[in-house]
Amino acid sequence: MNNTVDLSVLLADFVEDTTGHLDAVENALLELEKQYGRGVTDEALVTQILGNLHTIKGNSGMMGLGSIQQLVHKLEAAFKQVLERNIHLTNGFFEAIFAALNNIRESLAKLVENPAYQADFSDITMLVECVSSGAVEKEGFIATADKKEDSSYISQKSSTLKVNFEKLDDLLNLVGELVIRRTGLLALESRIREINDKSLVEAFTESSQLIGDTAAQLREAIMKARMLPVKVVFQRFNRLVRDLCQCHGKEVNLVFIGEDTELDKTVIDEIGEPLLHLIRNAVDHGLENPEVRRRSGKPAKGILTLRARHENNHMVISVEDDGSGISPERLRNAAVSKGLIDSRQARALSDHEALQLMFLPGFSTKEEVTETSGRGIGLDVVKNIVASFNGMIDIESAMGVGTTFTIKLPLTLAIITSLMVEVSGDTYAIPLSGVLESIKVDRGDIHEVADGEVIQLRDRLLPLVRVGSFFGLPQLKQEETEYVVVVGSGERRGGLVVDRLIGQQEIVIKAMDDYLGALPGIAGGTILGNGKIALIFDIASLIGKAKGGRIDAGK
């Protein structure tokens, strides 16, 4: 593995990504300012701003842009003070923060022109520090803010090939229509067989097969055009790990395995952020310093492995460290002390379930707040991004041996394989990437608990969601046995109770129109071969209601 990386190659991606996060911060700040005028402070908006700033800070450090990283760290500290109600929002606060955002935007524009540009944020940093101390209403401080209007970033051109990628998406949509037509031919074929004209059936079957083969080849060609090797993401972390080691006094050997494995560009664009948080977590929390490792009989230099592989129609990415491991008991105690769960819930958790506490918003076992940890922002971001792709994340850890985070994602997001099910006489689709297994259980094996229904599935309690009841559908008849589809989203597991399993089928995802508003439990729709519409289940939304026997019960 070549550890020498030319970061200038990544500069355009960094600028574009950071600009997006700055836009998100600015929009949230504008809304926060409006609410401030009404005497209201929305903590959710402050948390959202903290999340975006945290990502900008991490990416800036990875790119070696220490001045931006330090300024954003000060901004993060100011908003943390607001969240903890140590300071109050004022007009001066907003002026100072907007000025800081303008400074960062200007430095990004100059970096595009000259990658060697070094920004000087000393004045604005002093202003932000005054914000954190609550001394922002003094005119002398506010005068330091650069209040000139600057809208140059609005017309900033992207250096990426997004236009070409959109054309590929249009082409992929056409392939999707072809898949629908192919499914329609299959439905028509069954009707033709009733005519008892053998030659007609054979000719039709052959034509249908040719269309299917052509559609498959066309789809494969387009998918290959959209695919990028995962090393595009992996190589960004060499500098990050180096800087983290220097910051924490640790020695780490970063190893890449399967870096040539390819993944859809849509997923590539998003997977960097969750990996960033997992790697920082591994270096800061997981791997010990050299002296501790020697006393434990380990080599002084820890090993951090990024591994990628294909598994059926999925990409599996793991972040593995040979560090100290994670103590489930310490996680339970930390969650109770922060008020995330009560002591009764903590005692009821298995060790595996206790590990999932790390994904709760605001959770951290780090007592000292540093540039890389302790603010409770990070792993919940990982969970949300993975869940948004109908993916799953899991943790395995052994004390003294190490920890492995495993992310399982679909290879592509446009045409997916789904498990088709029937509920109250209608057909629905469950993305197969989130399906773990399907089982048939007796009604007597379903138990009522305070938060719903559960079944005993091997060594764990599995909370259930009756899909028909969730959507308010009529129950056609009551059977002595129930079909349960075991699904997962992020770190959570649940069982969806359906009337009948139809089988697997490739479907084309169609987005729902915005005018329909929020549709809990629905991720989109698809057109079946008979022309009817089948809704696609949003697994994360559905099992979010399955609280029986889970760590979020009662929340």
Residue 208 has a pLDDT of: 74
pLDDT in tens, 394-433: 899 999 899 999 998 877 666 778 899 999 989 999 988 8
SS3 83: helix
- The span from the CA of 424 to the CA of 476, in Å, is 6
- The span from the CA of 377 to the CA of 305, in Å, is 23
CB 222 within 8 A of CB 291: no
Residue 529 has a pLDDT of: 72
Residue-range domain boundaries for the chain: 7-133, 165-226, 228-366+376-410, 415-545
Instruction: Kindly give the parts of the chain with pLDDT less than 50.
Output: 1-2, 4-5, 138-163, 369, 374-376, 548-555
CB 258 within 8 A of CB 230: yes
pTM of the model: 0.56
Q: Which residues contact 319 (CB under 8 A, 6 or more apart)?
A: 275, 278, 279, 282, 304, 305, 306, 404, 405
User: At the topology level of CATH, where does 7-133 sit?
Assistant: Four Helix Bundle (Hemerythrin (Met), subunit A) (1.20.120)
pLDDT in tens, 502-542: 999 888 777 777 677 778 888 888 888 777 889 999 887 88
Residue 12 has a pLDDT of: 81
Residue 428 has a pLDDT of: 94
Q: Give the CATH class of 228-366+376-410.
A: alpha beta
Ranges assigned E (strand) in 285-434: 302-311, 314-321, 392-398, 402-410, 415-423, 426-431
Residue 167 has a pLDDT of: 60
- The span from the CA of 233 to the CA of 254, in Å, is 14
Residue 486 has a pLDDT of: 93
Whether 7-133 shares its CATH topology with 228-366+376-410 is answered no
- The span from the CA of 259 to the CA of 355, in Å, is 28
Q: Which residues contact 225 (CB under 8 A, 6 or more apart)?
A: 168
Q: How many residues does the chain have?
A: 555
Q: How many helices and strands, by DSSP H and E, does the chain display?
A: 18, 18
- The span from the CA of 443 to the CA of 455, in Å, is 10
Query: Longest Cα pair distance anywhere in the chain, in angstroms?
Result: 92
Residue 451 has a pLDDT of: 74
Residue with tokens 């100059």: 110
Which alpha helices (H) appear in 63-121, and where do they start and end? 66-83, 91-113
Please provide residue 407's backbone torsions phi and psi, each rounded to the nearest 5 degrees.
-110, 130
CATH number for 415-545 (one of 2.40.50.180, 3.40.50.10470, 3.40.50.2300, 1.25.40.80): it is 2.40.50.180
CB 324 within 8 A of CB 399: yes
Return the ∠ at Cα 539 (arms to 538 and 542), rounded to 5°: 90
